[in-house]
Structure formats: C-alpha cells, structure tokens
Structure 1
Amino acid sequence: MSSPATPRTARTGGSPARRPARNRGEWTAAAAMPVARVAVDVPLPHLDRPFDYRVPSHLDDAAVPGVRVRVRFAGRMLDGYLLERVEDSAHGGKLAWVDKVVSAEPVLTPEVAGLARAVADRYAGVFADVLRLAIPARHARVESETPRERTVPEPAAPGRAGWETYPRGGALLDALAGGRAAHAVWQPVPGEDWAARLAEAAAACRTAGRSALLVVPDQRDVDRLHAACAAQLGDDAVVALSADLGPAERYRRWLAVRRGSVRVVVGTRSAAFAPLGELGLLAVWDDGDDSHSEPRAPYPQVRDVLVLRAHREGAAVLVAGFARTAEAQLLVESGWAQAVVADRATVRARAPRVTAIGESDTQLVRDPAARAARVPGVAFEAARTALAAGRPVLVQVPRSGYLPFLACASCREAARCRHCAGPLGLPRPGPGGARGDDGSSGLPSCRWCGRVETSFRCGNCASRRLRAGVIGAGRTAEELGRAFPGVPVRTSGGGVAVLDDVEAGPALVVATPGAEPVAEGGYGAALLLDGWAMLARPDLRVAEETLRRWFAAAAGVVPHGDGGRVVVVADSSIPTVQALVRWDPAWHAEGELAERAEVGFPPAVRMAAVEGPPAAVAEICDAVLDPDRDPPEGVELLGPVEIDPVERPGGTGPDRDDVRERGLLRVPRRSGRRLAAALHDAQALRTARKAPETVRVRLDPDEID
C-alpha cells in the first residue's frame, strides 16, 4: 500500500497525474472563451444586467450557455444562468470566478432568454423575475433519470370540415401547414368544440415540421385540450404543463420539451415560455380570462407574451375565444391580425334564443312556484321546458356563498356592522340550525369582525328590516331545489368543488362564473341571474368581463332550433346585453375599443399603475415626468389617489402609516416602450439608494377600479 504522500501515476505513462485545484488560489482560467456572462438572480432594477465572471479550467467543459451556475455576488453565493462565453470583458478590474456549474443541463435557450428580456423591457420589469416565471425549479433526481421512450406517429393532415365553417378557416389551416406566420383572431360559433379545432390547428402546424404552443386559462381547459391533441396527434406527441402537476412531474415534462422529445405543448400561463424550437403556432384560448395575467412581477399577460414571441421567432398567432377583448379588436383594426368568424346566418342557426329581462320586469310576471326561488317567470318557464325535454339547466350566479351581503329592505342601503362598519351577511344554516322565514339562519353577522347583529337598525332610514343584496350560489341552489321538487341540484364553484362535466338528463346546475361544467349533449337552457350585479362593479373591464362570462355559459346551450334558451336578468337596453342577444362579440369589442380610445384607457394607450406609500409613488411619478430626464412623449399623470384604506378597529378610519396611493401614468402607444424604460430607471434609482418602501408598477393592468 503506497504512502499518502506518494503521487499517483498515470496508467499509460510515468508522469504524475495533475491534481484538481482545491482552492481559488490554484485555479486557472479556461484556455478559450475564459469569460462567462452571467444573469445573476438579483431582483433589483439597478442590477438588471449580465455580469462577467472568469471560467476556471476545471469547469471549461461544463460551463456552456444555458446552464445554471453559482457565483459570488456582493459577498453572497447566488444562483444564475450562464448566457454566453466570450474572450474578453469590458470590466477593468479583476473578475470573480464561476464557483460551480449546478447542472450540466442547459435549461435556458437563447430564444427564451431573448423573450424574457423583451418581456422585462415591455413591463418595466427585471430579467431575473421573468426567468423565475419561465424556468421551473430544478429536480436533480429528474435530471438524472433516463427519459422514457416516446412513440410519436408521423403527423397527418387534419380534417378540414370544422374549420370550413368559417370563411377564412381553411386559409388559416393552409397557412399553418405551409409554415407561414399567419395572425388570426378567432370567434367560435356557439356550441363549437373549440378544443378539437385548436388540436387540428396544431396538427396542421406539425405537418410543416414545426412545433405548437397552446395556452389556456385553467386546469379544466388543459385537460380538455390535451385530450383533443392526444386524439389528433398521439399521446406521446403532446405534453401538458401546469402547476397542478407537482414540481417533479412538471420538471420532467418540461425537460422532455427542452430536449426536443415533444413538439406540442398545452398549458397554463407559465407555458408561454416553454422552450420549444422551430415554433410554428402560438395560440391562446379565452385571452380575457384574468388567469392569463401573472400575479407576480412584472405581471405579464399571456396574449402579449405570445405576440412578442411571434415577432421574435416568426410564428403564427391565434387569439381565440367566444368573446373578443378590446386588445384582440385592436390587433384586427390595426391590420396585424385577420378575424376568423362565421357568417351571420351560421351564427344565428347555431345560437340559442336569448331573452333579456330587466330588474323591473322580474316583478311583473312570476310563476307562483318561481316566487320562492326569486327567478323571473320567463326564466322559470324556460327551465321547466328544458327539464321536461330531459336536458340539464345551467344557472349562473355571480356570487358565491349563501347571502353574501344584506341591505336595508326600505332604502336598500348596504347593511353595516355597528362595531366595525363591515358588511352584514347570512351564513348557510348548518344541519338542524334555526332558520328564518326565508329559510336562512335568521342571524346576520359581520363579514369582517364576525359579530352577530341581533338588533339591526339602518343608519340611513332607521328601518329594522333586511333584504338580500345579492343571492349567493348556495342559497340559489337551495331555493331552486324547493321550486323544482324531485329534480337533482348540483353546484359547481363558490366554495364547493368545480365540476368538469355533467351527465345528460334533467338536472339543475348552479355555478359561479368560470365554474360551469360541460354538459353531455348540451344544456337545454341557461339562466344568467343578477346580471345587474356583474355590470355594477367599478372596474374598467366590467362590461367586457361580464359578456365573456355570459358567452362562456351560453355557448354550452343547444341551438334554438333544438329548443335552447338563454335568459339573462339584465336591462335589454345595455349594449353588453344587446351583444349577447345578437351574439355579436365583434360588435361589442369594436364599441369597447372606441370608448377606451375616447377616454384614454388601454389598449388605446399605454398606461402604468404605480401603487405604494404616497411618498414613494410621488417619487417615481416625479422621476418619469422630470423634464431634465427626457420624459416619454405625451406622458400624463392621473392622480395619485388613495386606495385600499386600512380601517382601525371600531371603524375610526385608516391609519396614516398604512395609507397607499395609486398614480396612473399614460402615454400614446408609440411612447409605450419609453414609458417602461423610464419607470425601470426610476425604480433603479430607488433600489440603488436602498429605499425601504415597496412600490408595485404594472403596465396596462387588467383591473383599474
């Protein structure tokens, strides 16, 4: 046995083998391309740039572009991504070393890196924040696994019958099959199997040898679209990417995409960054759904991410949904995209009959059995006819819960708690619990502090009587069960499990917006209750969002020729209601965009919402408006105004230390890029001097109330 001090020799020669350097003092730089540009995981705007590091010779082979690395930054060991290797650095001082290559897997492709930079620039964000959205967390065990063999059949041309319902549908399929970068906004006809049509578009793209990326709002839509793509292309040809998979399985599937084993991806919003090469199609379903907006900085919207990606990679874009957003309408009116819609005769033949009943009308004609269910007589009759025909009936209720809030029965002023001024509501009665005359527990309680109100008196008119402000899904289901004895009542959403589908046959399905299950064979009728409550919300997009919810529910109803009825409880003179009655989402989107342009709101302009403590908001807004800093052309400040006041116990008003303000900065669309850059620079100035207050900056926010 040799002494520990005896050097080992190579098997093929007598010279000692070189011992790897164990400390940085012994490290030597790589012979070629010794400088690595690294995106360090630092979410600070003033450090939003790559940093140069030396690559040691023992990491030369592993340090390739795209790998995860560990580097020392400001005295701490941080994660990062190696962007590229170069010969020289512009940094005049001594470079630190790349300490470690975490994994030999190059997870950051040049295309995704470029897209992440473009998204950060558009939304006044930080590159590191976008990379967290784009690349899932590493699982070492998954990386070391042997990938399973995938049997992917040769892609075949899809059927054309479904798309030929639309005059431009066939041309869209031809463009995808020819590898051309078509841009389209598609409105399916009522009852359309939208998942099958998107799967056919992906199949046409695959026949051209290109990949397809399809993004949908939620897991139910992922499951439906994944099944359609698997039926069209084969199980191994497509993967689904969503947070519901769990970190290990999600990373396993993501690696299959990164390694080129799968060329079709279906997923939720983070899938917009999926590392697909040779992209041929980027599609988003229901682009107005708020699930497509990322709740983390820099708050990108899927539709805009896909449009940016299409510009960079020369891919086709398909924006689809039963409704049309103002942003999609802008794409059409600008000429960037073509509208793919059916002719009016086809739409009328496929649509159910829609009837609007105003709130005052609901008091005129009521079936005696409908009175207890607070359902207009017309709606009650439509439901009874559909149930008699053996079809389920969908009842859409805009609020979850039992009685979400109460109001004075005399003056209709919202009922408030005497202790904290919070809203009063009625909980669902428990088993065997006491009930009032209306079937409720009879004991209103505060939704903020929980105190039970035993002797209500209205502060406006001194009345002691209460009425329901909005009926929740739970209470509606209970009342309908009494109005239709013997008919099963099922609920979806609103605090209970969301149903994916319901079987054919008579049943009442009470669902909150977005939780409507698919009915086998279609619904016989849909009752859209409390439309006034949906339209009364103080939100920029309230009309657009309400119509989107209505179309999503009504699209599941059978055509009027088969007896399909939709009854919406809202004033028929409102344009949003008229768009549903006429089934004309394009007309509504055109008017919505025109109104936004008239008042100066997105997407007609670019707008930024700056929210935070008053001093911090003022500092950022002043920096953007500073004439010495070349402000964006046409920039205008709205506000700031106070938002989200925090009440002290007892309703004594907000604590000044907790007050938050919001300022709105808007510019013409041509100045949008400059506005984003100015906001980024303003935030960089604050983080450079370590300002303690947190400020949230959102470009083109979905909600402005």
Structure 2
Amino acid sequence: MDLPVARVLPLLGMPHLDRLFDYSVSEELDTTARPGVRVRIRFAGRLVDAVVIERRRSTDHEGRLSALQRVISPEVVVPPGLWDLVNLLADRYGGVRSDILRAAVPSRHASAEKAGLFGNGVDWPELYGALEPVEDLTTAARDTALSGWSAYRHADSLLEAVLAGRSARASWLWTPGEDWAARVAEMAATVAWSGGGVLLVVPDQRDVDRLSAELRNFLSAAQITELTASVGPAARYRRYLAVLAGQGRVIVGTRSAATVPVPGLRLIMLTGEADDSLVDPRAPYLHARDVLKVRAEQEGCGFIVGGAHRSAEVQQWVEEGFCPTLRADPDVLRARMPWIHALDDNHDAHQSFTRIPTAGYKAIRQASDNGLPALVQVPRRGYAPSLACKDCRTPARCRRCNGPLELPPGDQGRAGAAEPRCRWCGAPEGRFTCPGCGGHAVRMTVIGSDRTAEELGRAFPGVPVVLSGGSQVRDTVPDGPRIVVATPGAEPVAESGYGAAVLLDPWLTLGRADLRASEGALRQWMEASCLVVPREQGGQVVLVARTDLPEAQALIRWDPEGAAATELAQRRSAGFPPATVLVAVDGTTETVKELQEILVVPEELDRLEVLGPVELPPGVRPPAGLGESELHLARRLILRTPRRTAGGEDAAVLLGAALRAAKSVRATRRLTGPLRVVIDPVRVG
C-alpha cells in the first residue's frame, strides 16, 4: 500500500484526547478507509468510534501501530472543508473537536444509506419534475428577484456579484410590511438555478416553514432540503448524504444547519441573527451567526444577514468593513411606515393610572372598524406570572423551594379566586403568609397574556380575542376584526397585515438585568411594527412608554442603524462584547482556582483582565455537577481582553486556544470538579 497509516480523531469528547492518533490500515480496508469516513478503533482497551482525517506513508510513533478494526461506513461524512471549519471553531470557542463533529455530522443510519439518494440519484435540476428548460426557470427567478429587491439600494449589484461567485456581503435592514421570506426565496432560487449552493439559516421551525412555503413558488419540494430538530435521525442523515453528493443545493434549517458542508456554496443568508435560539446550549456553545461568518470568510461566498433590527455584533462588522448596509430608499421606507406613537404623543389624563392607555383602545377600535386585526404584544405569558404581598409589596415566594408564585388562569371572576402556585415546582399555595409583615393577601405585579386577553375581551365585547404564545403559537390569523394577544416572537402573520399594534409593559423587557435588554426590547418592538399596514391604510403602533426613552426614540424615528451604533459605542466604553472578548468561567471556588493556576496566557494578551470570582448571577443555569443543595457554591470568573491584540491578531482565537489547552491539562490531572467555560456568552448577567 502507498499509504499504510491512517491518522484518526477518536470521538471521545475528552479535552486531553483531542488530538490525532496513528493506526495501521490492513489490505482489506485500504480502499474504504478514506479520509472523512467513520471507523472503529481499539483505544485504551475498548472499541470506540473515530474519523479518519488523513492517510500517510509513515508515522512518527515509535513502536508497533494498532490496526483499524473496521470501517463503519464507506461514506465520507467529514470533507476537508468541514474539518478546517471544526479546527477554526475549536480554537475560537476553546472547544473539543469531537464535540463539534458530533453536533455537525448526524449519526449514522444504515437504512438511510440503503435508501440511497433521492429520485434514484438524479441531479438537483431534474428533481423539479416539470419539463421547463433550466434557462427559463433561471430567468423567471432572476426577474422576480430584481423586481422584489428593487426597493433596496444596490440590491441588483449585490445579486450580480453573488451570481458571479464573488464574496459579496451585506447587512440587510428590511422595512415595515416587508415579506422577508419572499425576498429570501427569490434570491436563493436565483442563485440555485444558476448552479450555486445556498444555505439559509433561521431561528426556529416557524420561520423554516414560512421560508419553505415561499421557496415552493420557484422550486419543487424535493429540491428543498430542510434540516431542523423536527426531522428524524434517519431522514436527517439521508439528507446530509444528499447534500454531500451535490443533490441538496438549497438547504433551509435552524442553528444545526450552520455547519452543513454544501458543495459549491455561493450564498449564505441568515435572518433573526440576534435570536437566542441560534446559540447551541451544548459545549462549546457555538453561535450560528459567528459560525456562518467564519464559513463566509473560509469559502469566499456571499453572505447576507438580515433583520428589521441590527445587533451590536453585526454593527461592528459594518464598522470594520466586513459587510456594508443594504437599506431601502427613503421614499419607499416613508411609504411603508405606520404611525408610531408613545405616551407623550397623545394627551391622556388617565395614562398614569391604567395599563392600556386611551390611545391604545382607540387604535384597536380603529383597526376593527377598518376590518383588520389588532396586535397586542405582552412580554410575559400566563395569567399573573408574578405576585407580591398586598400590604408591604414583598415578592411572594414558595415556602418549599423559594420559587416565585404565580396566579394561574382558572376561576377568573375576581383576582383572588384562583389559588396561587409556584412557577418552579408547581406546588399550590393554599394560604400565603408574607415573611415580612405576616399578611395573607397578594396582588399582581406582572400581568401576563391570559389576563390581558381577558381584559380586552371585556373591553371589546363581540370582537374575537386570539392568544399566541408558549405552547400555543399560531402561525397566521385570518383577516377581519379580531384582537391578537401575543408574546414577543410568537406574533402570527396577518394575511393583509395588522391595523394596529399596542406594545405593553416595556419596563419588563427594558428592566431586565441583562447586557442585551435594551437591544432585545427594540428588536421585539420593531419586529412587531413590521407586521402593521402603512399609515395610508390607517396603520399605527402605540408604545406604552415615555418618548424620552432612547429605545422609544429609535422606534419612532425608525433608526436601527443609529440604535446599533449607540449600543456598540456604549459597549466599547464599558468594555463589553463585541468590543472585547469576554469569557465566563463557571464552577466552584476550587475548580475556578484550578483553572487559573493551569491557564497559560499568551504574551500577546498583555491586557487581559481577571474579574471575580463572584456568585453566579441569578437566572444563570449552574454548571453540570452541582446539585440543588450545592447551588450556593457556584461561582463565576470573568476574563476580559480587547478584541484585537497590539499586533492585530484575533484575541478570541488566542484566548480560546489557551483555555482549550488548560482544560486538556486539567483533564490529564483528573480534576473532574464542575466547570464550564463559555466564550462571549449571550447572558452575561
């Protein structure tokens, strides 16, 4: 054999074993043990799975090599591009390569391999089924895309650059009333019929369904490859193999699809980039937005990140020149905007004493008179998710687990009719006793969507009230007078648009102890406002907040760029991401100290700050290994350094590689205490 040695990566998930090992290849496995296939090896006396990374002529190992036991499957599931991406992400996030591979490559199913490719292995264009020439389908999709994107400056040049295979990038800010799914489908279909691969990533299954429905205007269902959590393991593996074979040219999925190796990838599109659903909850906690950026740079393809609002992370990309802004013409934006009001814009003598001001009731009534539904956005679901003592205002807590008490929907004739219960353990609280004053009565401090729907049903008799949120999320609502009460992110799409939107309780979202509270609140308000019809059709948005709030001003002026620039400037002055690299090390006092002693900081990171350790912030999930009786032992250490070193190097990669090495040394020393390392966490506390 020319290449008798195979270098493999054992899929063990252990930091100290995250390296390549040499094994000998027998004559029988010579043709099947190719780079990228799964194999079985004997490691430390037991059989484990591994991936062949390369074949070599010789080995640096002194001694006799163990032989590969068998090839699990001859299918190449880790192509070279995916392996390069895994290495980049492992250094960037301080992770273990086998963990990233397990998340990127679906588990093997023999039935999927036996079933083979779709349509007996025909090429992607032949999956369309119709006898129309590809040239006609390409021209039709392109003409539709040029017409649909005509409202945005330089969109035609962007499309031409993507079709030419250049690395065109843009931060797309869509307008109110924009059918973003139709625009994405038009661009994707044009690129796909031109012969390029397309990867579309959205936050959740609702967006996948909506986008797939729009894609079917240009493609057949067999030409659309969906990769989401709802797809079964066998079907997911079969679709993954179809993508590798070039039969899946248009991939639509959630965060798990961000690493799918698409042959001939020409365009990546990401929408809802600030949604928390795009963060993998498993180590090393990859963010799909950063993964797709790395892929766009690595593969030199087009990259469009879109949304009604822009996060501080994307704003930094814009200021660094990575992607310019794709915005609508001012005349188009002005024609599509609804009227946006805040409390000070309308005189209301009772606005200080009521939760829904008079302007809100008028907006709902006007929408009903115009034959359109009205949207009411409520930050919290449930009936009364937060209670307090009626006398001294002390928050009501459960006597068993100290969790917050809530008032569930039940006998809703009066506020005190339903029995309070714990939001954590669900135990009923038959007779509440305040630990502060001894009182037994409670009052509602936060009103949820169920209670809001009840109040609006009484205020507008005869008008249907629809709830959307939690486990009962509606995708669409029909036309006609009705009131839709929804939580942020669960707003259904109205067929002809909403006549009005009332945004309630902004203090709940703005008052969260969270780095991204202001950014998240403005994003939720803008996304809800995009569902309202233009002002010429009577559309209006009522924000129940003061006009002097910066977030309210950004909404009224519709200035997502200015708001993102201000947010980024404030983060820079305070030393928070994305201006800095921030690492959260969660564990106990002993485990955090162990990591500090092992960590070898590179000389280039001469401005590294060490903050803490302090108690774990409220609401943050403790690291694995800490039981309920040990939660008081949880501590958090913060490591912070500027994003770029003095020499211009990426500090995240340097610090991630150092943390990765420290975790490896810690595992070698058999230090198994609870510890979690998260680079640039979404929730800082």
Say if 2:131 is the partner of 1:156: no
Q: Report matched runs for 1:526-537 at 5 Å.
A: 526-537=501-512
| Aligned counterpart in structure 1 of residue 536 of structure 2, from 561, 585, 599 | 561
Partner of 1:471: 447
Deviation at 1:513, TM superposition (A): 1.0
Partner of 2:658: 678
CA displacement 1:476-504 (0-9 Å, x = unmatched): 1122112211111111112x421111111
Determine the C-alpha separation between the residues in 2 that align with 1:493 and 1:420.
Answer: 27
Partner of 2:460: 484
Say if 2:317 is the partner of 1:344: no
Partner of 1:636: 609
Deviation at 1:69, TM superposition (A): 0.6
Determine the C-alpha separation between the residues in 2 that align with 1:307 and 1:421.
Answer: 43
Contact 2:42 2:69 in 1 (8 A): yes
Deviation at 1:586, TM superposition (A): 0.9
Q: Which moved more, 1:74-83 or 1:453-462?
A: 453-462
Partner of 2:638: 664
**How many correspondences in the alignment?**
656
- 1:485 maps to a residue whose letter is P
Determine the C-alpha separation between the residues in 2 that align with 1:345 and 1:355.
Answer: 21
Partner of 2:217: 231
Contact 1:428 1:441 in 2 (8 A): no
CA displacement 1:68-88 (0-9 Å, x = unmatched): 111111111111111111111
Q: Which moved more, 1:277-286 or 1:589-598?
A: 277-286
- 1:636 maps to a residue whose letter is E
Determine the C-alpha separation between the residues in 2 that align with 1:42 and 1:420.
Answer: 37
Q: What stretches of structure 2 of length at least 5 have no aligned partner?
A: 120-125, 620-627, 645-650
Contact 1:179 1:208 in 2 (8 A): no
Q: Which moved more, 1:413-422 or 1:154-163?
A: 413-422
Cα distance 1:419–1:39, how it changes in 2: closer, same or farther (>3 A)?
closer
Determine the C-alpha separation between the residues in 2 that align with 1:436 and 1:505.
Answer: 29
Q: Which moved more, 1:410-419 or 1:292-301?
A: 410-419
Say if 2:32 is the partner of 1:62: yes
TM-score by length of 1: 0.89
Deviation at 1:40, TM superposition (A): 0.9
Partner of 1:193: 179
Determine the C-alpha separation between the residues in 2 that align with 1:218 and 1:202.
Answer: 19
2:147 is paired with a residue of what secondary structure?
Answer: coil
Cα distance 1:452–1:500, how it changes in 2: closer, same or farther (>3 A)?
closer
1:543 is paired with a residue of what secondary structure?
Answer: helix
Cα distance 1:482–1:92, how it changes in 2: closer, same or farther (>3 A)?
same
- 1:231 maps to a residue whose letter is N
2:81 is paired with a residue of what secondary structure?
Answer: helix
Determine the C-alpha separation between the residues in 1 that align with 2:207 and 2:461.
Answer: 33
Deviation at 1:577, TM superposition (A): 1.7
CA displacement 1:431-473 (0-9 Å, x = unmatched): xx4x5534x5343334345555455565556666532111111
Q: Report matched runs for 1:245-284 at 5 Å.
A: 245-284=231-270
Cα distance 1:603–1:366, how it changes in 2: closer, same or farther (>3 A)?
closer
Q: What stretches of structure 1 of length at least 5 have no aligned partner?
A: 1-30, 647-653
Contact 1:427 1:441 in 2 (8 A): no
1:38 is paired with a residue of what secondary structure?
Answer: strand
| Aligned counterpart in structure 2 of residue 395 of structure 1, from 370, 373, 376 | 376
Q: Percent identity?
A: 47
2:230 is paired with a residue of what secondary structure?
Answer: helix
Cα distance 1:249–1:359, how it changes in 2: closer, same or farther (>3 A)?
farther
- 2:637 maps to a residue whose letter is G
Partner of 1:147: 117
Query: Where does structure 1 differ by over 6 angstroms across 4 or more consecutive aligned residues?
Result: 358-363
1:415 is paired with a residue of what secondary structure?
Answer: coil
| Aligned counterpart in structure 2 of residue 331 of structure 1, from 317, 321, 337 | 317
Cα distance 1:634–1:462, how it changes in 2: closer, same or farther (>3 A)?
same
Partner of 1:493: 469
Say if 2:497 is the partner of 1:522: yes
1:70 is paired with a residue of what secondary structure?
Answer: strand
Q: Which moved more, 1:320-329 or 1:462-471?
A: 462-471
Partner of 1:25: none
Partner of 2:19: 49
Cα distance 1:406–1:645, how it changes in 2: closer, same or farther (>3 A)?
closer
Cα distance 1:645–1:289, how it changes in 2: closer, same or farther (>3 A)?
closer
Partner of 2:122: none
| Aligned counterpart in structure 2 of residue 437 of structure 1, from 414, 423, 436 | 414
Deviation at 1:676, TM superposition (A): 0.7
Q: Which moved more, 1:631-640 or 1:208-217?
A: 631-640
- 2:157 maps to a residue whose letter is A
Deviation at 1:166, TM superposition (A): 1.1
- 2:138 maps to a residue whose letter is A
Q: Report matched runs for 1:128-147 at 5 Å.
A: 128-147=98-117
Q: Report matched runs for 1:189-228 at 5 Å.
A: 189-206=175-192, 208-228=194-214
Cα distance 1:205–1:645, how it changes in 2: closer, same or farther (>3 A)?
closer
2:6 is paired with a residue of what secondary structure?
Answer: strand
Determine the C-alpha separation between the residues in 2 that align with 1:233 and 1:177.
Answer: 18
Cα-Cα RMSD: 2.4
Say if 2:485 is the partner of 1:510: yes
Partner of 1:78: 48
Determine the C-alpha separation between the residues in 2 that align with 1:255 and 1:230.
Answer: 22
- 1:427 maps to a residue whose letter is P
Contact 2:500 2:532 in 1 (8 A): yes
CA displacement 1:124-183 (0-9 Å, x = unmatched): 001101101111111101101143325246251422122121112121111112111111
- 1:293 maps to a residue whose letter is V
